[in-house]
């Protein structure tokens, strides 16, 4: 029995196109050349859709929100269905945006809660309010200044983390995909840091997630 050279589907012999995978079997009476020698696994992986954030056909905000939604609410679907072979530049950009947002959120919470805590301490601790306000102002100023270094820190942390993960995967024969895949997985996982939106326990929950 004749079989499709692409997917191995059993054929009657009179089809011009494989009914299973759409491979062109005969074109104007001339049989098409056999497909390039690729393993079925690779073909399947290359057919996977691009990560929404790396898909430039959509608006920037839309693809960012779609990716965040997928990572947080459908992680299994996201990490098994999408093609992580995309440019690592997009992964870096995603992680930097997400990390910067969570750093700003942390700073805002620090400002809000420190101010209230300081005012309570000043009221009950018999400490001049001005001294505490000055301490708080220095803390906030330092925090705001450190935001400049957040993107640099994120990029460094991304490379160190993904390097360690990839090395460990290589040791257990788990690094079947390239370094780009490991890097992108680590980069897109950073969406969990957005749990910082929840005060007090958000950061801890993000780490566990």
Shortest distance (Å) from residue 32 CB to other proteins:
28
Shortest distance (Å) from residue 68 CB to other proteins:
25
Q: Does residue 155 touch other proteins according to CB under 8 A?
A: yes
Taking CB under 8 A as the rule, which mask of x and - marks residues 4-43 in contact with other proteins?
----------------------------------------
Q: Does residue 156 touch other proteins according to CB under 8 A?
A: yes
Cβ proximity to other proteins: between 81 and 176 the closer is 176
Report the C-alpha gap between 119 and 133 in whole angstroms.
Answer: 8
Distance from chain centroid for Cα 182: 10
What residues contact residue 80 under an 8 Å CB cut-off, 6+ apart? none
Shortest distance (Å) from residue 146 CB to other proteins:
12
Cβ proximity to other proteins: between 143 and 163 the closer is 163
CA distances 23 to 19, 32, 37, 76, Å, are 8, 9, 15, 30
CA torsion through residues 176, 177, 179, 185, sign: negative
What kind and span of H or E run contains 169?
helix 150-171
Shortest distance (Å) from residue 45 CB to other proteins:
18
Q: How far is the first Cα of the chain from the last one, in angstroms, to the nearest whole number? A: 51
User: Within 158-197, which residues bind other proteins (CB under 8 A)?
Assistant: 159-160, 163, 171, 173, 179-180
Cβ proximity to other proteins: between 120 and 138 the closer is 138
Shortest distance (Å) from residue 171 CB to other proteins:
5
Question: How would DSSP label each residue in 126-163?
Answer: T--HHHHHHHHHHHHHHHHHHTTTHHHHHHHHHHHHHH
Cβ proximity to other proteins: between 72 and 155 the closer is 155
- The binding site for other proteins (CB under 8 A) comprises 88, 152, 155-156, 159-160, 163, 171, 173, 179-180
């Amino acid at each position: 029995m004749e079989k499709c050279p692409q997917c191995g589907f059993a054929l009657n012999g009179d089809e011009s196109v494989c009914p299973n995978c759409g491979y062109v079997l005969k074109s104007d009476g001339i049989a098409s050349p056999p497909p390039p020698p690729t393993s079925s696994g690779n073909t399947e992986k290359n057919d996977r859709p691009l990560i929404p954030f790396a898909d430039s056909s959509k608006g920037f905000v839309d693809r960012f929100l779609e990716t965040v939604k997928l990572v947080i609410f459908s992680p299994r679907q996201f990490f098994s269905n999408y093609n992580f072979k995309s440019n690592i530049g997009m992964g870096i950009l995603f992680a930097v945006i997400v990390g910067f947002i969570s750093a700003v959120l942390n700073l805002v919470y620090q400002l809000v809660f420190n101010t209230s805590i300081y005012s309570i301490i000043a009221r009950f601790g018999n400490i001049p309010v001005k001294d505490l306000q000055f301490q708080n102002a220095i803390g906030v100023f330092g925090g705001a200044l450190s935001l400049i270094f957040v993107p640099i820190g994120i990029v460094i942390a991304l490379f160190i983390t993904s390097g360690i993960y990839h090395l460990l995967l290589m040791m257990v024969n788990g690094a079947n995909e390239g370094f780009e895949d490991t890097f992108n997985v680590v980069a897109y996982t950073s969406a969990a840091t957005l749990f910082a939106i929840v005060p007090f326990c958000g950061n801890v929950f993000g780490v566990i997630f």
